[in-house]
């Protein structure tokens, strides 16, 4: 605020205290009268030096306003309209993500790389836009660019720049992932005593495959081309790295390439790889043994050999808990198939610990899921009394014959008689609730092995987050380098969310956290002030993490920018 001296047509000078501010959208400097004082010659009769006195008063009022000692006074016109070129409501919740982004020094990574490039836009700003919008408002690259005005950001680049930037992001991918890993280790710690691995895939809205996007076994039962992603996670649930594979790549063949990069670049010591039965192959076991790593894999019971089935189902040796849970283990010499130097598959003997356990809860769940499938099978039989039914899903419980089992009558050759296969159901029920884990860790206690294996849910949940909150698919990009860059921004977005979960004590789900950040938004009121209208325990915790007071109902644009700048320190 300052003292304004207006010279009137009659020559007299009129004094008033006014406030200067910039109008959102137009950025034009505006003034608003705060206090009218009177004509200078009249005031000179009351004050020795009105100019000095009221100039000092304007300074005091400015300081008082900064300390929120003065009430805010806004005025509105009933006929005021909304300018289509101006966004009145903007998001400040992205500042939470900015805190982690800059804590990991991703900004410095891109600024340093850009020094050797001859480009006139900021790679760092483009990458930030992709990451923040992927969390808060997942959409296409074009839509993310168009929505930039919805945030308190001062980014300045053209839409063409975002597609040009993708090729740079792809070329920096491996270096950036390694940089981020080091920053996570330094700032938050990395527990790699166990590392978890799993594979999922993401579909594309295209009909024909190409050299990268190929048709394969879709986790979502899609028929369109996909790409495979192998993801590695540390013991605390933080993603470490990932790798993309062609869509028709077998899950079990993806582990070794990811571990190769891990050992060569990340300088880990011995790690224990925890994965489900899809990774339980002779090649993967041999790889871990050769590279002095450990493994904890699940083992199918129904598909096991007769000797292992007998061991699992026998009551001998089980330790039984009061709730019906039981567990036992043994160390055996077993054989695995591996490919030798001549490319021939040979059997190799290894020592392995087998942990068998039974869970009443898993038993109930299996029976419940099967009963649903059997009921569905019954309905399919009613609808399809004639014609063949493929044996998949619920239909695997349907058996077909050309002979009525009760009467012995031969059915029409052009049709089949369908019935629920009770023998198959009875065989499956024997193994309900039973599981086997195989491991290289011969001396590790059973409960530790089981705890490590149970933590696989974290990586399964991580994949769900990428597909729900982050909406990573469908992917509309076509160039391989652009696709790689897309998944890089998604990976970083995922990591920032996981770090936020960790720093808020795992009190909230990612969905709750994303919703809270989206609601931390301010609406322009008047005189460069924005009004915020959302605050609760979750937002309070976000403020504690970032050192931002989100409880303030009114903030000037200057205060907002100061808070954003604070996240970059």
Give the pLDDT of residue 418.
59
Decide if pLDDT at 41 tops 80: yes
pLDDT (average), residues 509-537: 94
Give the pLDDT of residue 417.
56
Where are the domains positioned within the chain? 2-66, 174-359+433-476, 363-429
- Per-residue pLDDT tens for 240-262? 999 999 999 999 999 999 988 77
Give the pLDDT of residue 410.
46
Cβ atoms within 10 Å of 351's Cβ, excluding its own = 11
Handedness of CA 318, 323, 324, 325 (dihedral sign): negative
Three-class secondary structure of residue 215 per DSSP: coil
Strand pairing category for 194-203 and 272-275: parallel
Min mean pLDDT across 40-49, 133-142, 469-478, 488-497 is at 40-49
- Per-residue pLDDT tens for 57-82? 888 887 776 666 567 778 778 888 88
Strand pairing category for 272-275 and 294-299: parallel
Decide if pLDDT at 114 tops 70: yes
- Per-residue pLDDT tens for 428-480? 889 999 999 999 999 999 999 999 999 999 999 999 999 999 999 988 888 99
Cβ atoms within 10 Å of 100's Cβ, excluding its own = 25
Give the pLDDT of residue 31.
78
- Give the long-range contacts of residues 33-38, CB within 8 A, separation 24 or more: 34/1, 34/61, 34/73, 35/61, 38/14
Min mean pLDDT across 22-36, 38-52, 474-488, 497-511 is at 22-36
Q: Rounded distance, CA 97 to CA 469, Å?
A: 15
Give Cα separations from 533 to 24, 88, 261, 546 (angstroms).
Answer: 19, 14, 47, 19
* Closest to 241 (Cα-Cα) out of 219, 220, 257, 218: 257
Overall fold of domain 174-359+433-476: Transposase Inhibitor Protein From Tn5; Chain A, domain 1 (3.90.350)
% residues pLDDT > 90 (the chain): 61
Strand pairing category for 29-39 and 89-91: unpaired
For 515-531, give one letter per residue: b (16+ CB within 10 A) or e.
bbbebbbbebeebbbbb
% residues pLDDT > 70 (the chain): 90
- Residue 45 is classified by DSSP as T
Q: Could you tell me which residues come within 8 angstroms of residue 377 by beta carbon, excluding any fewer than 6 positions away? A: 394, 395, 397, 398, 420
Q: Judge residue 382's burial from the number of C-beta atoms within 10 Å of its C-beta, 0-12 exposed, 13-18 middle, 19 or more buried.
A: exposed
Q: Judge residue 552's burial from the number of C-beta atoms within 10 Å of its C-beta, 0-12 exposed, 13-18 middle, 19 or more buried.
A: middle
pLDDT (average), residues 16-44: 78
Taken as a whole, the chain contains a residue count of 569
* Closest to 188 (Cα-Cα) out of 145, 120, 124, 235: 235
pLDDT-derived band at 375 (thresholds 50, 70, 90) equals confident
pLDDT-derived band at 407 (thresholds 50, 70, 90) equals low
Give the pLDDT of residue 441.
96
- Per-residue pLDDT tens for 293-325? 999 999 999 889 999 999 999 999 999 999 999
pLDDT-derived band at 409 (thresholds 50, 70, 90) equals low
- Give the long-range contacts of residues 303-307, CB within 8 A, separation 24 or more: 304/436
The mean of the pLDDT values for the chain is: 88
Q: Rounded distance, CA 263 to CA 285, Å?
A: 16
* Closest to 310 (Cα-Cα) out of 442, 431, 426, 437: 431
pLDDT-derived band at 413 (thresholds 50, 70, 90) equals very low
């Amino acid at each position: 605020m300052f003292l304004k001296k207006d010279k009137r047509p009659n020559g007299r000078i009129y004094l008033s205290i006014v406030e200067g501010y910039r109008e959102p959208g137009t950025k034009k400097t505006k003034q608003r009268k705060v206090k009218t004082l009177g004509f200078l010659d009249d005031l000179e009769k009351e004050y020795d030096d009105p100019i000095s006195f009221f100039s000092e008063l304007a300074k005091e009022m400015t300081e008082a306003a900064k300390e929120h000692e003065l009430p805010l006074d806004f005025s509105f016109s009933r006929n005021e309209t909304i300018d289509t070129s101006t966004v009145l409501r903007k998001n400040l919740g992205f500042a939470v993500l900015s805190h982690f982004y800059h804590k990991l020094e991703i900004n410095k990574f891109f600024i340093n790389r850009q020094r050797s490039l001859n480009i006139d836009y900021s790679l760092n700003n483009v990458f930030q836009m992709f990451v923040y919008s992927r969390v808060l408002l997942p959409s296409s690259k074009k839509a993310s660019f168009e929505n930039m005005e919805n945030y308190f950001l001062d980014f300045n680049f053209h839409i063409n720049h975002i597609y040009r930037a993708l090729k740079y992001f792809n070329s920096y991918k491996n270096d950036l992932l390694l940089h981020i890993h080091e920053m996570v280790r330094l700032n938050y710690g990395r527990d790699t005593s166990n590392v978890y691995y799993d594979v999922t895939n993401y579909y594309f809205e295209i009909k024909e495959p190409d050299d990268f996007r190929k048709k394969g076994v879709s986790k979502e039962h899609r028929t369109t081309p996909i790409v495979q992603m192998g993801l590695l996670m540390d013991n605390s649930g933080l993603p470490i790295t990932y790798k993309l594979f062609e869509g028709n790549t077998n899950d079990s063949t993806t582990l070794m390439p990811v571990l190769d990069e891990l050992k060569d670049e990340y300088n880990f010591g011995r790690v224990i790889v925890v994965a489900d039965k899809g990774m339980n192959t002779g090649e993967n076991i041999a790889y871990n043994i050769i590279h002095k790593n450990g493994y904890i894999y699940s083992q199918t019971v129904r598909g096991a050999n007769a000797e292992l089935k007998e061991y699992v189902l026998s009551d001998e040796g089980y330790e039984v808990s009061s709730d019906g849970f039981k567990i036992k283990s043994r160390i055996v010499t077993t054989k695995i198939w591996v490919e030798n130097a001549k490319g021939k598959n040979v059997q190799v003997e290894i020592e392995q610990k087998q942990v068998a356990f039974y869970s009443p809860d898993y038993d109930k769940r299996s029976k419940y899921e099967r009963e649903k499938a059997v009921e569905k099978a019954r309905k399919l039989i009613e609808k399809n009394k004639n014609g063949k039914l493929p044996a998949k899903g619920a239909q695997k419980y349907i058996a077909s014959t050309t002979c009525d089992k009760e009467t012995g009558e031969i059915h029409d050759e052009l049709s089949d008689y369908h019935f629920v296969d009770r023998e198959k159901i009875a065989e499956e029920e024997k193994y309900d609730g039973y599981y086997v884990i195989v491991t290289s860790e011969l001396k590790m206690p059973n409960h530790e092995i089981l705890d490590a294996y149970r933590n696989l849910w974290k990586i399964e949940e991580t994949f769900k987050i990428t597909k729900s909150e982050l909406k990573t698919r469908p992917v509309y990009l076509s160039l391989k380098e652009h696709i790689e860059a897309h998944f890089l921004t998604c990976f970083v977005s995922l990591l920032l969310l996981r770090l936020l979960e960790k720093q808020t004590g795992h009190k909230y789900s990612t969905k709750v956290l994303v919703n809270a950040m989206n609601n931390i938004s301010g609406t322009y009121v008047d005189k460069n002030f924005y009004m915020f209208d959302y605050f609760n325990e979750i937002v309070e915790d976000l403020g504690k993490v970032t050192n931002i007071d989100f409880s303030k109902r009114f903030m000037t644009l200057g205060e907002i920018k100061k808070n954003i700048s604070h996240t970059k320190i």
